[in-house]
């Protein structure tokens, strides 16, 4: 019991940063439907709150990008998707995380903002009119390719 208390105490004292041995990859979904792409408005952290992103999250150990994408969209939007081709180039964040965007096709369910402030479907024209200050910094580079995808759709 003493040993267990010590283990718990040292783990929490070291903090989440040092004990985080998860992969550095983050996946984000460009769910495209009827000529529009789904963007989600972040609720946290405070510096990203209110900004639009492609919904997604961190890849877990032993998980493929496609499986992570399906899991994250199920958790965050309550919908089932199928992962498709990569969108744009991976983006490396200052903290070392590497973001990968993929096209995704809606298979079942209606996306809902379970963890976001809001969800909105954007046409290519909506994206071109979007103020980049209102977009999560890492996601800004993907906007031109998303416009091309939507123009072709």
Positions that interact with ligand 523 (CB under 6 A): 26, 28, 53-54, 56-58, 93, 97, 99, 136, 138-139
CB nearer ligand 523, residue 27 or residue 106: 27
DSSP state of 131: -
**What minimum distance in Å lies between the beta carbon of 16 and ligand 523?**
8
Structure tokens that stand for 73 in this block: 């969209």
CB nearer ligand 523, residue 56 or residue 88: 56
Bridge-partner residues for 102, per DSSP? 29, 86
Q: Which residues contact 11 (CB under 8 A, 6 or more apart)?
A: 19
**What minimum distance in Å lies between the beta carbon of 129 and ligand 523?**
20
CB nearer ligand 523, residue 26 or residue 37: 26
Interatomic CA distance for residues 48 and 39, integer angstroms: 14
Interatomic CA distance for residues 117 and 52, integer angstroms: 10
**What minimum distance in Å lies between the beta carbon of 103 and ligand 523?**
14
CB nearer ligand 523, residue 6 or residue 134: 134
- Alpha carbon of residue 76 to chain centroid: 9
**What minimum distance in Å lies between the beta carbon of 3 and ligand 523?**
28
């Amino acid at each position: 019991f003493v040993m267990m208390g010590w283990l718990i105490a040292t783990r929490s004292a070291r903090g989440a940063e040092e004990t985080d041995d998860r992969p550095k990859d983050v996946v984000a979904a460009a769910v495209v439907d009827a000529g529009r792409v789904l963007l989600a408005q972040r609720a946290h952290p405070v510096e990203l709150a209110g900004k639009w992103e492609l919904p997604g999250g961190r890849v877990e150990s032993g998980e493929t990008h496609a499986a992570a994408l399906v899991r994250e969209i199920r958790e965050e939007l309550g919908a089932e998707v199928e992962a498709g081709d990569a969108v744009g180039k991976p983006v490396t964040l200052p903290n070392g995380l590497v973001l990968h965007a993929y096209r995704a096709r809606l298979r079942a369910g209606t996306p809902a903002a379970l963890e976001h402030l809001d969800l909105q479907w954007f046409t290519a024209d909506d994206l071109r009119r979007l103020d980049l200050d209102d977009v999560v910094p890492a996601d800004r580079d993907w906007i031109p390719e998303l416009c091309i995808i939507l123009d072709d759709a």
